[in-house]
Amino acid sequence: MTERKSPRFAARTSKEEIETGLSFQPKFDADGLIPAIVTEAGSDTVLMFAWMNEEALALTIETRLAHFWSRSRRALWKKGAESGNLLKVVEMRTDCDQDVVWLRAEVLGEGHACHTGRHSCFYRSVPLGTFPAGALPLAKAEDL
Does residue 142 bind a copy of itself (CB under 8 A)?
A: no
Q: Which of 64, 71, 144 is nearest to 104 (CA)?
A: 64
Distances (CA, A) of 39 to 1, 6, 43, 110: 27, 31, 8, 16
How far apart, in whole angstroms, are the C-alpha atoms of residue 101 and residue 94? Answer: 5
Q: Which is nearer to a copy of itself, 1 or 29 (CB)?
A: 29
Task: Give, as ranges, the residues between 88 and 107 that touch a copy of itself (CB under 8 A).
Answer: 89, 91-97, 100-102
Q: Closer CB to a copy of itself, residue 2 or residue 43?
A: 43
Q: Examine residue 44 and tell whether it contacts a copy of itself (CB under 8 A).
A: yes
Q: Does residue 140 contact residue 122 with C-beta atoms inside 8 Å? A: no
Question: Which positions lie near a copy of itself, rule CB under 8 A?
Answer: 8-10, 19-24, 35, 37, 39, 43-46, 48-49, 58, 61-62, 64, 89, 91-97, 100-102, 114-116, 118, 121-131, 135-141
